[in-house]
Structure 1
Amino acid sequence: MTLRLRLLLAFALLTVVTAVSVAGAGYVRARDAVVQRAQDNAVIETTNRVEQLYPLPARPLDTASLERIAGRLSSREGTAMVVGNGVSVGGMDPSVVTPELRALVSSGYVGWQRVPYAGSVWLVIGMQLRVSGGGASGIEVYALRPFTSEVAFVGELARNAWLIGSVVLLFALGLGFLAARGVLRPVRELQLAAWKLGQGDLSARVEVRGRDELASVAETFNSTASSLEHHVGELRRLEADARRFVADVSHELRTPLAAMTAVTDVLDAETASLPGVAGQAARLVNRETVNLTRLVDDLIEVTRFDSGTAALAPDDVDVAEVVRATLRMRGFSADVTASLPAGVRARLDPRRLDVIVANLVGNALRHGAPPVSVGLSVDGESLVIEVADAGPGLSPEVLPHVFARFYKADSARGRSEGSGLGLAIAWENARLHGGTLVAANRPGGGAVFTLRLPLGGE
């Protein structure tokens, strides 16, 4: 349930409770006052009519006299009934007099009661007649008066109460909508600003209005966003400086490394004629120079990816031939089982595919166990290359970081086992083609790296 709906429901509930309480209490008080006044007026009128009959003779009244009394008590709106000497006369229906009212009148009291009659509500008033001297005459009179106008008036009060309550409810809902809109507007602005901040727009801010709690939240958000923008800016600056430093150092190392490589090539050609320790030292220098050259080349390649200058040089190639050339040039052919069907062509950068396959196969040979296999297939519109080994596989701790830069599953490995950039460069090259590179473990044991590239290129 949204916050706006909850606010509207709260306003509606409060309005309903208030309207029912106020209108209900007013309706009950007005209804009781109207009914009481109508009953009092009817009783007073009937009592006045009865008093006009006095004085009554002390002798018993005959039926004709009783009928005259009933006639005098009757009116245009109602009728009357006189009960005495064992007879009941008058135009009133005796069935409307309830036993409770008759018992009350027989006890000498003036009584009245609302009863249903002729499809409406009527008032029955009863009392005893007194003879001269104040004694009881034994004659009871009952007057039937309509209560229709009072019932209609009470019904009108009820309708007015419902109407006023409905209008108040609609008015309260309108106020609730406006209040919710005013309250939720800063919340929506805060939500939008937070979304922009999450999308990387560190300049997102919220306008502060007023001095309430929402304004305090907005000020806190702005302060947090400003601090985050400052820190992220510093981190980006430091990262840019570090990348520039790596790029500059890598390029500066290329010239002396070229000279060192030329010298070590000469030494490598003479290692056979060098005595013992000198020959070992020459071979070590040559190997480390090769490793350092590879590391510098990898660093330069990484800086190209980071700076966005890495670009594809796509060509329509025979994928199987590119993979075979990679295995042959790296000296991997004798150690790798290749399943490379002919006729698979794709538009991609052959140099970068060579780098991907070389890094994957080299990683499998160094850290896996034979046999190492390379498979080529086509899945829909994708080119699929799988490199698998029969080694121990990748542990759950290694899998999430296998393509991270400079990550090594065994931190104790020597520098000769790689720089930790090969798989990262392979992953970047796959992404540059618009493809994916995924690492997993085979059910039968060993690791498998799956490269998927679009056949048509990026």
Structure 2
Amino acid sequence: MSRLLSATSRVLLAVPRGIRRIWRRSLWLRVTLTTLALSLIVVGVLGLSLLSRVTTGLLDAKERISVGEATAGLGEARRILDAADTGPSTPAPARIVDSVVSALATRAGSPATFDVLLLSSEAIADAPERGTNLVSEGSVPPALRAAVASSGRQSWTYTDILFLDGRSTPGLIVGAPLVVPTVGPYELYYLFPLTQEQETLDLVRSAVIVTGLLLLLLVAGVAWLVTRQVVVPVRAASRTAVRLADGNLSERMPVRGTDDLARLATSFNAMAASLASQIRQLEDLSRVQQRFVSDVSHELRTPLTTIRMAADVVYEDREQLDAPTERAVELLQNQLDRFEALLADLLEISRFDAGAAVLDDDRVDLVGLVQRAIDSAAPLADRAGLDMRLVTAERECIVMCDQRRVDRIVRNLLENAIEHGDLRGVDVRIAQNDEAAAVTVRDFGVGLRPGESSLVFNRFWRADPARARTTGGTGLGLAISLEDARLHGGWLEAWGEPGRGACFRLTLPRHRLASFAESPLPLEPSADDYAPEVPDASGVQEVGLDPAPEGQVPSVDAASDRGGPSAAARFVIRGADPS
């Protein structure tokens, strides 16, 4: 039973959601139902107004005729009573009352259009009271009797006419005072049934309802047809736009007629043709650019190799040269290194642009990879006077990835942090969860201005164009790193604030191209995040424990025993001997 109730509740909850989804997705349905609802309100108001006016007109006419008939009957009754009072002998009261009621009943015709009640105004014993057609004297409301008795003139009201056999019918009762000789004051009541008026109102009501329903159906049909004429071309435009977005640049809307929708279709097709032409031009230009970069990169490798061989020969014998020439040879060697790196990056970018980049993934220990990258970047950090700290509680972090590409990402991030950091050093963190592993590289330099976190991955972009490169970068490192991360199905993100430095986060799936929902490490450092003071020139700042032997990661227990700043392992890797 509980399962049945649960299933029923789910179905009942799903129905409104389905209706809301259909309502949001269908302009056709919304316009038709909205038009139908507004038409229903208008038809309802008009129908009620019409019924009200018809009812008022019928009742006013009935009231006018009934009051006139009652006035004439009252005059007839008084004439009969006056004749009985002036005769040679006074008839019995019962006979007088009977003669009055009989005379008035004759005026009602056949079938009778009204009934008559002649009631005594005072509780007089044996006072005769008469009525026609088995009408009950309970039909007259006490309020009407009181009004007739107190006002002494004609009064009327709408009420139900009751009969002695239990029947009742709505009617109009008109009463007036009357004096019967030898008896006293009486009240004469005319009871007019509203049967015909009720039948007329029922007929009018039925006609209004039927006409309203037919009108609603007509309006709904018209709204459906009109909306269809508008929605169908819009849907065609939507389908055409989707096909254009999918790459089918030859797709066009059908053009029928010369109306506004036809002009819309013509304009849409012209826009699509223009966009297709521009896209093809851009594709051709992109292919030319890619081919140019690839060809130039390949063509330059041969002369560059020759220049490199000649420069190496001169560089090996530089000590035999004079000082200015020796310096020129060293500068030539450095610039050749940068030129070779730039050519390699251009070739790699051309592979990404051509879609020729492939993964050569394997099981890689991310902790060991990062530590080797830090060791490799240590000479740059030493020249800049920076400390690099690896912060992790992981002894091992296995990821299925392309080791060469991930190593290139980490090296690029480290070189970028060294170039833009300050003497407070660089923090490198590693963490993992069941789905992903992450590496963050944070510097404490000038940081990034708002909006620059998405620009740092652009090719050859620089936050300060006037600033010279200190690490020999080509300006393509972060762009290549972003493509490498995407090739793994991962993320490469940047955060920065002026004065707080910058942080780059690499998040990779632990299994090949697996999906993940969140990164194990936050991108934005917390307000109380570890930010060391600038070390003095006397040596290296210790931050938890001594450097581990090469290839090993310090244990968490070691950090805790030393009373380091965190339960995670922290150590310093420097190119020079800390001593």
Instruction: Name the TM-score, length of structure 2 as normaliser.
Output: 0.63
2:131 match: secondary structure: coil
Report the counterpart of residue 120 of structure 1 in structure 2. 169
**Does residue 298 of structure 1 match 2:329?**
no
- For 1:430, the aligned partner's letter is A
> Which aligned pairs between 1:282-431 and structure 2 lie closer than 5 A?
282-327=329-374, 332=379, 335=382, 337=388, 339=390, 343-370=396-423, 371-396=425-450, 398-414=452-468, 417-431=472-486
Report deviation, 1:455. Answer: 2.6
- For 1:455, the aligned partner's letter is R
CA shift in 2, pair 1:65/1:441, >3 Å: closer
Report the counterpart of residue 280 of structure 2 in structure 1. 233
Report deviation, 1:147. Answer: 1.1
Report the counterpart of residue 275 of structure 1 in structure 2. 322
**Does residue 79 of structure 1 match 2:116?**
yes
* CA distance in structure 2 between the partners assigned to 1:383 and 1:19 by the alignment: 66
Bigger drift between 111-120 and 391-400 goes to 111-120
8 Å contact kept, 1:440–1:448: yes
- For 2:101, the aligned partner's letter is A
Report deviation, 1:322. Answer: 3.7
8 Å contact kept, 1:369–1:391: yes
- For 1:13, the aligned partner's letter is L
Report deviation, 1:41. Answer: 9.1
1:49-94: per-residue Cα shift (whole Å, max 9, x none)? Answer: 99899996893464435532422322674235499xx998642659
8 Å contact kept, 1:16–1:165: no
Aligned-pair RMSD on alpha carbons?
4.5
5+ residue gaps in structure 1? Answer: 130-138
Bigger drift between 336-345 and 253-262 goes to 336-345
* CA distance in structure 2 between the partners assigned to 1:264 and 1:197 by the alignment: 54
1:99-140: per-residue Cα shift (whole Å, max 9, x none)? Answer: 888999979xxx9876543253345578999xxxxxxxxx99
**Does residue 258 of structure 1 match 2:305?**
yes
8 Å contact kept, 2:492–2:504: yes
> Which aligned pairs between 1:120-139 and structure 2 lie closer than 5 A?
120-123=169-172
CA shift in 2, pair 1:168/1:346, >3 Å: same
1:74 match: secondary structure: helix
* CA distance in structure 2 between the partners assigned to 1:443 and 1:395 by the alignment: 6
* CA distance in structure 2 between the partners assigned to 1:273 and 1:393 by the alignment: 45
Bigger drift between 17-26 and 244-253 goes to 17-26
* CA distance in structure 2 between the partners assigned to 1:447 and 1:199 by the alignment: 38
1:457 match: secondary structure: coil
* CA distance in structure 2 between the partners assigned to 1:435 and 1:80 by the alignment: 100
Paired residues, number: 446
8 Å contact kept, 1:122–1:144: no
Bigger drift between 89-98 and 278-287 goes to 89-98
8 Å contact kept, 1:43–1:125: no
- For 1:355, the aligned partner's letter is R
Report the counterpart of residue 132 of structure 1 in structure 2. none
2:170 match: secondary structure: strand
* CA distance in structure 2 between the partners assigned to 1:392 and 1:128 by the alignment: 108
8 Å contact kept, 2:170–2:195: no
5+ residue gaps in structure 2? Answer: 1-22, 163-167, 179-184, 514-579
* CA distance in structure 2 between the partners assigned to 1:307 and 1:162 by the alignment: 73
**Does residue 450 of structure 1 match 2:498?**
no
Report deviation, 1:269. Answer: 1.0
CA shift in 2, pair 1:24/1:285, >3 Å: same
2:280 match: secondary structure: helix
8 Å contact kept, 1:66–1:89: yes
- For 2:413, the aligned partner's letter is L
- For 1:365, the aligned partner's letter is I
Report deviation, 1:419. Answer: 2.0
1:309 match: secondary structure: coil
1:21 counterpart (26, 46, 49):
46
8 Å contact kept, 1:320–1:342: yes
* CA distance in structure 1 between the partners assigned to 2:402 and 2:445 by the alignment: 30
Bigger drift between 95-104 and 119-128 goes to 95-104
CA shift in 2, pair 1:244/1:120, >3 Å: same
> Which aligned pairs between 1:112-261 and structure 2 lie closer than 5 A?
116-118=160-162, 119-123=168-172, 142=188, 144-157=190-203, 159-161=205-207, 163-164=209-210, 167-168=213-214, 170-172=216-218, 174-175=220-221, 176-194=223-241, 202-203=249-250, 205-261=252-308
1:367-394: per-residue Cα shift (whole Å, max 9, x none)? Answer: 3234334444433332333333343333
- For 1:396, the aligned partner's letter is P
User: 1 or 2, which has the higher helix percentage?
Assistant: 1
CA shift in 2, pair 1:30/1:385, >3 Å: closer
